[in-house]
Structure 1
């Protein structure tokens, strides 16, 4: 009997075997061996399995019809991302050496690029350019998250139909911590919770509207961990983390602000066919429930001319779950100042998404003000604390529907925002140009802001003439690019990114900083440095004490170092320079 060849097997079996191949290269190589195998290698099952083994963070969509074409498009995107990251690390020769324009491509990307960027961010620490790769890929990913969040809020402000869950998820997306919490996570988590609820309570559809509303509230509070003990305390109220719907859904304790609980309840209700909406009550957030057309809350038929009834829920306390309308009206009347008559109606009617997002903004502002006095209550890692402030500055630029002092606030904050973009978020210059600049079109700051964008591009692209270390300079300039030091007077830690053989700062700056009082005055080497708070400074040589022994940079400096350096050299206790064009001898 002749030996049967692989290509002579039934096509269904060949497809099944090919689907076990781990990488696309193996599939392509196999497809070149015989015409029959080539035909089988085009099947969707083969390429769908290859793609699933990539373990993309974005869920694979059932809308994909041609999985090979989908793979090819993702592969091309990955190659483009690789090229962008590498050109940010190793700048091409002028005039193509500018980094800022490379971030202009990000509007063409979506979360499909996240997986490849994470591969760069999580590259091996032993790599020759580990810190630079982590920094620039991370900057691309942050810029992408910032853009997606800001775009979501811009759509909301423009009047586009936006769900509350998605508008709230934008707060999570903006400060995404690498925990996978994004728009898809929030939506999928709520879908999953609704499916589990329907599975566990199979008689749900047989209940009246009132019964459904109360059952869902009990389910959240008693079975899903959404408890008044995690939402009602003062400590919980001022924990800024509890303003984020994604963090609440991901947390084992389900800690969240009352507004977040209301949003989750309404999102689940919508998936379960229940008409539940938030109301913007003073000092609290309640839910209003409406029955279907033609029946009341207890599923009893009502006449066409009979007004529809409704019920109010307080989903933060199982003891006072259903709240009577008369109680709410009495609370409004007892308000200071009292809210009476027809004025009460707007606090008892459903609130739109923009109103609830503005309320979330105010809640975050309250938490940030408290954190200024109680920094230990942050609830986030310190680096996320800075990201929260940055997010708040952006929100203040685009939301103005509930603040009579909007322009006073914008005039105050725009300088802080511009400074943070320049020092810590270089990838966001185009967002600043596209979003902030139009806001200030008729304001006195407009021209100065436009100039700052132009000047930032020029500074970033201009590496300057090379500074060689002549024998004389080697004696005068004691420290190298990449050295890390403690400031003797102000006690911060910093890293050297540039030097001048003597002070080149303007005379006004020298007078302001009393340079003449230094023992060496201005006639000593001065260094451009980045401190561990992300600020660039100009420091006299006599004020610096270099790291010694086993001292290593802290996490803050390591996070910032990739903008200027390739990696940390443990043996030499210094960063490996990525500034060779300007400082070739360092």
Structure 2
């Protein structure tokens, strides 16, 4: 793939990966694009003082359709020099050599905020800024670390056509002949085939492999395990035929005792496609089914406990209220609550609850979501739903008898479990919607 329109996928893919692996961080693709636009604008300002006649200063560039350099070789070099001045002299972007395996180095939002990263994420930032200024910088998965290449001399041989950019080391410009020393690799490992451009999917796959490698280092259980699980889920999404990643995701979910139906579905898929893994699949399938049966047995043994409020802070909301999630914007109805989070420590870490302002030391609510899922939401994440829409969830009839426009009426079993909530719901509905 030789078109720089592919580079657009680099920042988009990096953003999607960062969003997927940081469920408690609130940022959008537009937020990332705005930051890159701002940096590109600073480069223009820098050029204005050094090369006021540069054509990029008066150009309107369609970023998605920059398929080749828009300027002459000398003009492109001026822009690249200005990018280096802004990124590395003004903002002090740098490779995070002291904490290379820090998870944040792999998330583009964190790289733009902290101004540190690893070669691959710094290269994505650099190439995105260059494209905004009409220059194509292509990703190269070199034998040592990730580089960019710029097609400087179209008339020369392939060996001498490109200038390579080492963004991890201050945007240093390198010729092909300088690469062995600069990258500290034997010349025998370096050839034109090893310096080909890398497709966006391959770039994303390498980023995921980096995160999986970090996640496997479980000396600090929690964030690393969350990182591993999120990266594996994303890997399966973009590479559904990678059974090694599916198996690793199965093992993580079994360890956490979560998503057991998905575990069984994944194992069945692997069994259907890869007969060589039947022994391992059968072992893991038996473990999953045993865990599911144990969960059902424990649920059946569990007696219904009456939930009453001893203190006002035990729960601000009540069963039957129609709510909206502040971060994820989903509509839901409350069907239960706990005065503090009752989930396992593994779930708390896996879901990033420890990153919330009040962490797990706050009421948590069982909610039926309009998309058909059941979720466990922190009190600080919920707010009254001004639209009071009907929640079309298959389990509505399991807990409620009717829909009353502003709230739901719980059935006898749910009323027995939360005896104070009918009165409290009526009061809250009146205060919020009718006062």
Distance 2:141 2:231 in 1: 21
Question: Equivalent residue of 1:278, what SS?
Answer: strand
Residue 174 of structure 1 is matched in structure 2 by 20
Residue 359 of structure 2 is matched in structure 1 by 555
Query: Are 2:103 and 1:290 equivalent residues in the alignment?
Result: no
Distance 1:532 1:282, change over 3 A: same
Distance 1:436 1:466, change over 3 A: closer
The match for 1:218 among 73, 85, 98 is 85
Residue 244 of structure 1 is matched in structure 2 by 107
What's the CA shift for 1:354? 2.1
State whether residues 17 and 234 of structure 2, in contact with CA within 8 Å, keep that contact through their aligned partners in structure 1.
no
Distance 2:40 2:417 in 1: 63
State whether residues 122 and 168 of structure 2, in contact with CA within 8 Å, keep that contact through their aligned partners in structure 1.
yes
Q: Which has the larger Rg?
A: 1
State whether residues 160 and 175 of structure 2, in contact with CA within 8 Å, keep that contact through their aligned partners in structure 1.
no
Distance 2:168 2:272 in 1: 44
Residue 387 of structure 1 is matched in structure 2 by 226
In structure 2, the gaps of 5 or more residues are 1-5, 57-73, 309-341, 349-357, 367-373, 380-398, 400-409, 419-435
Residue 416 of structure 1 is matched in structure 2 by 251
Residue 57 of structure 1 is matched in structure 2 by none
Residue deviations 1:282-316 (CA, integer Å, cap 9, x gap): 2212211114xxxx48xxxx59x999822111223
Residue 534 of structure 1 is matched in structure 2 by 347
Distance 1:283 1:260 in 2: 15
State whether residues 165 and 263 of structure 1, in contact with CA within 8 Å, keep that contact through their aligned partners in structure 2.
yes
Distance 1:585 1:397, change over 3 A: closer
Distance 1:467 1:220 in 2: 59
Residue 339 of structure 1 is matched in structure 2 by 188
State whether residues 172 and 181 of structure 1, in contact with CA within 8 Å, keep that contact through their aligned partners in structure 2.
no
Residue deviations 1:539-584 (CA, integer Å, cap 9, x gap): xxxxxxxxxxxxxxx934758664798999xxxxxxxx99984894
Normalising by structure 1, report the TM-score. Answer: 0.43
State whether residues 287 and 313 of structure 1, in contact with CA within 8 Å, keep that contact through their aligned partners in structure 2.
yes
Normalising by structure 2, report the TM-score. Answer: 0.55
What's the CA shift for 1:209? 2.1
Distance 2:86 2:206 in 1: 26
Distance 1:387 1:437 in 2: 24
Distance 1:179 1:258 in 2: 23
Q: What does 1:17-56 correspond to in 2, within 5 Å?
A: none
Question: Equivalent residue of 2:18, what SS?
Answer: helix
**RMSD of Structure 2 on Structure 1 (CA):** 5.0
What's the CA shift for 1:170? 1.5
Question: Equivalent residue of 2:26, what SS?
Answer: coil
What's the CA shift for 1:388? 1.5
State whether residues 466 and 581 of structure 1, in contact with CA within 8 Å, keep that contact through their aligned partners in structure 2.
no
Distance 1:411 1:307 in 2: 40
What's the CA shift for 1:161? 8.9
Residue deviations 1:364-385 (CA, integer Å, cap 9, x gap): 233224x423x3xxxxxx8755
The match for 1:191 among 13, 26, 37 is 37
Q: What does 1:1-400 correspond to in 2, within 5 Å?
A: 163-202=9-48, 203=52, 204-205=54-55, 208-226=75-93, 228=94, 231-235=95-99, 237-249=100-112, 251=113, 253-291=114-152, 296=153, 309-318=161-170, 321-329=172-180, 335=185, 339-340=188-189, 344-369=191-216, 371-373=217-219, 375=220, 385-398=224-237
Distance 2:29 2:169 in 1: 28
Distance 1:397 1:580 in 2: 43
Distance 2:413 2:252 in 1: 30
Residue 543 of structure 1 is matched in structure 2 by none
Distance 1:306 1:360 in 2: 28
What's the CA shift for 1:389? 2.4
Residue deviations 1:211-258 (CA, integer Å, cap 9, x gap): 2222212221112331x3xx24232x1111111112212x2x312112
Question: Equivalent residue of 2:167, what SS?
Answer: coil
Distance 2:127 2:42 in 1: 16
